[in-house]
Structures are given as C-alpha cells and as structure tokens.
Amino acid sequence: MALYATAATVLAAVEGRRGSIKGLVYASRFQNVKQLYALVCETQRYSAVLDAVIAGAGLLRAEKKLRPHLAKVQRRVSRNEDLLQVGARPGTASQVPRFVRVNTLKTSPDDAVDYFKRQGFSYQGRASSLGELRALKGKCFLLDPLLPELLVFPAQTDLHDHPLYRAGHLILQDKASCLPAMLLAPPPGSHVLDACAAPGNKTSHLAALLRNQGKIFAFDRDAGRLASMATLLARAGVSCCELAEEDFLAVSPSDQRYRQVQYILLDPSCSGSGMPGRSLEEPGAGTPSKARLQALAGFQQRALRHALTFPSLRRLVYSTCSLCQEENEDVVWDALQQNPGAFRLAPVLPSWPHRGLGTFPGAEHCLRASPETTLTGGFFVAVLERVEVSR
C-alpha cells in the first residue's frame, strides 16, 4: 500500500500534476520523520518494481532528456558550465581528477583527511607531481602539490552526497578555478570586490582566505544565480560578504563604500570554450561563433577597463573558463594599453607549465590550463598589479 501511494505520488510529481518534490516530502500524510523514514525504506525494497512502473509510464525517456536540468537543480547551479565544474567530464576531461577544496572557514585539511581515512580512503600524502595525480585510482587520495587546501581524488569519485560536502566543509571546485582567489591573495581585514560573482565558489574561497575578516562586495546581475549563491555562502559559513544584484558596469568607483577596495576579482561571463564537456549538451558550444565572441569580448573589455578605475585598487585577477585568445590575452592587452604604465602583469607561478599565448610582450605571465597540460578544466588567469610610483 505504501509502495502504491509513493509510486503514484512520484508519478504525479514528475508529471507536474500535483505539487513538487518538496510537496512530496512535506505531504501532510507523513506526520513525522519516523513514518517518512519507514516509507523510504519500504520504497527502496521495491525500487525495482518502482523502476518498472516509471518505465511503463514512459518516464525514463523523459528523465533522460531532463537529466542535465535535474543535475543542475540538484547541484544548485544554473548553467551547464557550472555543472561541468563539479560534475563528470567526458573525453579527455574524464582524466581530470576530482578536486575538493577544504573550506577552512569550517574545518582544516588535516581533519578532512582524517575523516576520509576513517571512511576507508587511503591517504597518499602531498603529491609532488602531476604524474601522481594522473595515477590516482580506487579509494586513494592526495593533497595537491600547489594548493594547500586542495584534496585530489580519482576522476570518477562522486562526493555530491558526502556529508562534509552537504555541510559546507568541502567545496567541489576544479583546481584551475581555485587559482583566481589564491593569486589575488587578499590578506585578512582587506576589502575585496567580486565583480561577477555568482554562483560564488570563488567568493567563498576569498572569504576563507580573509578568514571572514574584512569585506567582500559581490555583484551579479542574475537574480537566480544570486539566490543559489546566497545558499552556497550560508552553507560555507561566509559572513563577510555583501551580495548585490547589480550590473558591475553601473557600480561607481567613486562610491565611498568602495574607497578601501584594493583587490578585485573579475571572472566575467565567457564562452565556456574551456569546459570540455559542453559540446555534449550543446553541440557546437565548444567553438563560439565570431559574433558571440565579439559580444563577449566587448563586455569583458568594458568590465576590465571599469575595474581598473577603482581608485585604491592594487591587485586584480582576471579569469575565464575560455580558451579563446579574444576573451583572454586580447582583453588583458587592451586594458594594459588603455592604462600605459599604470598596471603590469604580475609574474605569478613561474613553474606553472601552461602560459599565455605570446601575443604581446609579457603575455607569458598569464596562465592557461587544460586537461592535457595541467589536469584541470580549460582556464585562463591574469594577475594585474598597480605599478607603484616611487617618490
């Protein structure tokens, strides 16, 4: 009887006839948690029958179509590229390990390592080469050779249901996407502006580096993505961030609120051409059209030029998950030319193996990333710093 009720309610919910999944969980007939738990156990015993019922209703086909959207909802992201940051990747990208950033606002790498060891994972210590990351198998894991709070698991490891992830102690974030906050390196107490911030993985990383001391002004113009971001930040224990639904281009650099902003992270919308699996869900998305590239690069240039006008700015990180020169080196070169002698590219991570395309003098200070060269998603990072005038 319980099975029948559950299957019927699931079918109704999936077909959208009655309520939502939330409605299902909070349906008044489940008067207490024990009852609900018993019902779930009972349902699991009959899961094969339930599958047959759903398959009979033709729902598996629909589910397959909806799978990317369901995954986005489950992982609280709104775009395919964000899903790829935390999900399985096809092709060469399936070799990219699962990177897990330990959220130091809530725990420490040592405690996270202990937790995984108690769960039967085998800890191999801090890696000293990419080869060690590539060779990871089974239930083994490592600490990343570069980032002190980054755990590395074999590519197939799925931690989306892990209690530490659900509690905000772990952030599932690709290693390349950890570079911007790490390279911006704002000291605790400083004021930071995150110009295009949602869904907020890099903001939460910045907050961890600040130890929640100081202030992050985070902007995004997409209300839905900001809502996901608020959830993410709350779960991660971030308390130093002010979120605003605003077009960054309309944020005034002369506003007194931002007079102490010395650090800016600019991670604008991009083609996502570095996200290896996009072509699976959006055929052709890996190679953006000329018109789309022009539009994106136009916005990226305006945003970078605008960011460089904040009067107290000392250091800025510009990043994209694109591999297109138009969105990367060209944008940075444009900004440097607009501000001759005022900013320069900081020579960061000299041992990083994949550098900017040599399209202008100094472009080798930019960093690129890809599954083949750095065992990460495709990415670009440039660090601009104000040239101090000696008196």
Ligand X SMILES: C[S@@+](CC[C@H](N)C(=O)[O-])C[C@H]1O[C@@H](n2cnc3c(N)ncnc32)[C@H](O)[C@@H]1O
Tokens matching residue 255? 């506003």
82 is in an annotated binding site: no
181 is in an annotated binding site: no
Contact segment (CB under 6 A) with ligand X among 137-145, 154-162, 221-229, 330-338 equals 221-229
Dihedral (C-alpha) 299, 300, 306, 312: value to the nearest 10 degrees?
A: 160
260-319 positions binding ligand X, by CB under 6 A: 267-269
Contact segment (CB under 6 A) with ligand X among 97-105, 130-138, 193-201, 337-345 equals 193-201
295 is in an annotated binding site: no
The CB-nearest residue to ligand X is 196
Dihedral (C-alpha) 113, 118, 122, 124: value to the nearest 10 degrees?
A: 30
Distance, CA of 68 to CA of 64 (rounded, Å): 8
Establish if 149 lies at the interface with ligand X (CB under 6 A). Answer: no
198 is in an annotated binding site: yes
Helices (H) and strands (E) in the chain, counts: 16, 13
One of 75, 76, 126, 221 touching ligand X (CB under 6 A): 221
Catalytic residue numbers, as ranges = 321
Q: Tell me how far CA of residue 4 lies from CA of 1, 18, 42, 190, 328, in angstroms.
A: 5, 16, 11, 58, 56
197 is in an annotated binding site: yes
One of 141, 217, 219, 379 touching ligand X (CB under 6 A): 219
Sign of CA dihedral 234, 239, 244, 248: negative
One of 83, 113, 197, 264 touching ligand X (CB under 6 A): 197
**Spatial CA neighbour of 197 closest among 291, 280, 317:** 317
334 is in an annotated binding site: no
State the nearest-atom distance from the C-beta of 281 to ligand X, in Å.
17
Binding mask 241-260 for ligand X (x = CB under 6 A): ------xxx-----------
Establish if 201 lies at the interface with ligand X (CB under 6 A). Answer: yes
Sign of CA dihedral 240, 242, 248, 253: negative
222-241 positions binding ligand X, by CB under 6 A: 222, 225
State the nearest-atom distance from the C-beta of 379 to ligand X, in Å.
11
State the nearest-atom distance from the C-beta of 317 to ligand X, in Å.
11
201 is in an annotated binding site: yes
Secondary structure (DSSP) of 336-358: HHHSTTTEEE----TT-S-B--S
- Max intra-chain CA distance, the chain: 84
Contact segment (CB under 6 A) with ligand X among 4-12, 49-57, 90-98, 217-225 equals 217-225
State the nearest-atom distance from the C-beta of 229 to ligand X, in Å.
7
Distance, CA of 111 to CA of 159 (rounded, Å): 17
Establish if 99 lies at the interface with ligand X (CB under 6 A). Answer: no
- Whether residue 75 contacts residue 160, with contact meaning beta carbons closer than 8 Å, is answered with yes
CA 175 to chain centre: 10
Residues forming contacts to ligand X in the complex (CB under 6 A) are 196-202, 219-222, 225, 247-249, 267-269
- Name the binding residues for S-adenosyl-L-methionine: 196-202, 220, 247, 267
